[in-house]
Amino acid sequence: MSIQKSWGELLKMAHACRIVIDTLDALEEAAVSGVSTRELDRIAREHIETAGARPAFLGYRGFPATLCISVNEEIVHGIPGSRRLAAGDIVGLDLGCVVDGFYGDAARTVAVGDVSDQARRLMRATREALFAGIEMCRPGKRVGDIGHAIQILAEGHGYSVVREFVGHGIGNSLHEEPQVPNYGPPGRRERLVPGMCLAIEPMVNVGGPEVEVLADGWTAVTRDRSLSAHFELSVAITPFGPWILSDPYPYPEQEGESAHA
């Protein structure tokens, strides 16, 4: 049911994902106190277009920008605008691009200046949850194992995971089958097979898991207005384990089509 990519297609995915990560690196540097979220969006677009790619979010279901910026209690899908970042904010930067028909998608939450211990712990736990999920990206595991690993880790820190938004397959479109929830029982849902590509993206709240979407139709905030963090990477399932597509291929002894089957 899910589309298995060939080695050549995985290399194209990796290229798109690399551009996204390079852009996020630049944005992280630029996300300082006083900068407007619209300015970050401009930097993101310029960076992606200079790299020969096209923004993936711009126009997607009517989303008006290149970058999703979600500050503090905003979970995801924040629209860039006139808001200026202030010291102590945590800022979710979510970005996607298309090159040669293949999509890359990644996100991270960064700190502006000095942030509270609470915020720092939340960001660390969310990132750990992402990697706990990625660790499950092996043939024979199932989509439910990913969500379970993420939920256990996040709730182990006393946080909650968002239910209304989920990770997704990625490839020739931004959102492909299967959906990848960040919670649920292990051993359920679709079986993972080599050549699948998934965007794993835990959204973790300090307070409750409930979500509210603001009047702009996009910005999702925590209903209790508690802090929320979001980390995302696009990952390919290989016969040997996960390949974080923005990283170099991690199993160099087995490369090419033979690495794929």
Partner 1 sequence: MPEAARETLEMEGTVREALPNALYRVELLDEQRTAITAHVAGGASLLRLRPGDVVLVQLFPYDAGRGRIVRRR
Among residues 183 and 249, whose Cβ is nearest to partner 1?
A: 183
Q: Is 203 in the site for partner 1 (CB under 8 A)?
A: yes
* 60 touching partner 1, by CB under 8 A: yes
User: How far is the C-alpha of 192 from the C-alpha of 197, rounded, in Å?
Assistant: 10
By CB under 8 A, residue 165 contacts partner 1:
yes
137: its two tokens: 């990206």
Choice between 104 and 260, CB closer to partner 1: 104
Is there a contact between 92 and 118 (Cβ–Cβ < 8 Å)? Answer: no
Does 168 help bind partner 1 (rule: CB under 8 A)? yes
Binding partner 1 (rule: CB under 8 A), the pick from 9, 41, 73, 94 is 94
Among 9, 41, 145, 201, binds partner 1 (CB under 8 A): 201
Identify whether the C-beta of residue 232 lies closer than 8 Å to the C-beta of residue 245: no
Q: How far is the CB of 213 from partner 1 (least distance, A)?
A: 9
Tell which one of 15, 18, 77, 108 touches partner 1 (CB under 8 A): 77
Contacts 24+ apart (CB under 8 A), 133-138: 133/167, 133/182, 133/200, 133/202, 134/200, 134/233, 134/235, 134/242, 134/244, 135/242, 136/192, 137/192, 137/198, 137/200, 137/235, 137/236, 137/237, 137/241, 137/242, 138/192, 138/237, 138/241, 138/242
Interface with partner 1 includes 74 (CB under 8 A)?
no
Candidates 202, 196, 201; CA nearest to 243 is 196
- Segment lying near partner 1 (by CB under 8 A), choices 39-47, 83-91, 127-135, 160-168: 160-168
Burial of 79 (0-12, 13-18, 19+ CB in 10 A): buried
Q: Considering only residues 56, 97, 122, 198, which one is a binding residue for partner 1 as defined by CB under 8 A?
A: 56
Q: Max CA-CA distance within the chain? A: 52
Nearest approach, Cβ of 66 to partner 1 (angstroms)? Answer: 11
* Total residues in contact with partner 1, by rule CB under 8 A: 27
Positions 112 through 151 that interact with partner 1 (CB under 8 A): none
* Cα–Cα dist 138/76, whole Å: 27
- Comparison of 110 and 161: residue with beta carbon closer to partner 1: 161
Which residues would be at the binding site for partner 1 (CB under 8 A)?
1, 56-57, 60, 63, 68, 76-77, 94, 96, 105, 107, 163-168, 174-175, 177, 179, 181, 201, 203, 230, 232
